[in-house]
Amino acid sequence: MLAEKLKNLNIILASGSPRRHHFFKEMGIDFTIDVKEIEEIYPKNLKRAEITDYLSKLKASAFSNLSEKDILITSDTIVWQYEKAIEKHKDMNEAFTMIQSFSGTMHEVFTSVTFTSKNFQKTIHDTTKVWFKELSNEEIYFYLNNYKPFDKAGSYGIQEWIGYIGITKVEGSYNNVMGLPTHSLYKELMNL
């Protein structure tokens, strides 16, 4: 259905995320991948989805000379807890501390998606609340040592072992926690 709608467009996904690639394939979207490195720095006064909106647009700004048929899709995901963005960890200790901070609490996951063409730009975002049970240190170390979630916002993958044993409630889009609100992406692409 979506493939037919998009057949005359060139969809460019500017993401190195294997999960986003998988979502696009599973949704039947014909796309190419083009990733341009940018420094993901945002003004410190931004909060929640303002951060992901800003970074998603910043990623799009690295592209110029889009053709009439090109639709560039950029995205950014953050984890938000205790009124601050949880940055990607730098090492195993930071990853442990990060997951430990989620133990027995709720945090939010924000993802923004920006659609850019030669003639327009639109950004959407989605929010999901995630609750973890109390996690033991052994469970956290088992997860980090066996699943090595070192490319993920919040240092965990909801679709992995830690999600199976640790997440007690999700309010909002499950796929958003994996890095892409697929229902919103579908709606926007169908409305192009």
Domains of the chain, earliest start first? 2-190 (3.90.950.10)
Of 41, 28, 52, give the one whose Cα is nearest residue 126.
52
Q: Give this prediction's pTM.
A: 0.94
Contact 138, 162 (CB under 8 A): no
pLDDT of the chain along its 192 residues, tens only?
888 999 999 999 999 999 999 999 999 999 999 999 999 999 999 999 999 999 999 999 999 999 999 999 999 999 999 999 997 778 899 999 999 999 999 999 999 999 999 999 999 999 999 999 999 999 999 999 999 988 888 999 999 999 999 999 999 999 999 999 999 999 999 998
Identify the pLDDT of residue 89: 79
138 membership: H or E segment, kind and range: helix 137-147
Catalytic residues, by residue number, are 76
Predicted local confidence at residue 40, as pLDDT: 92
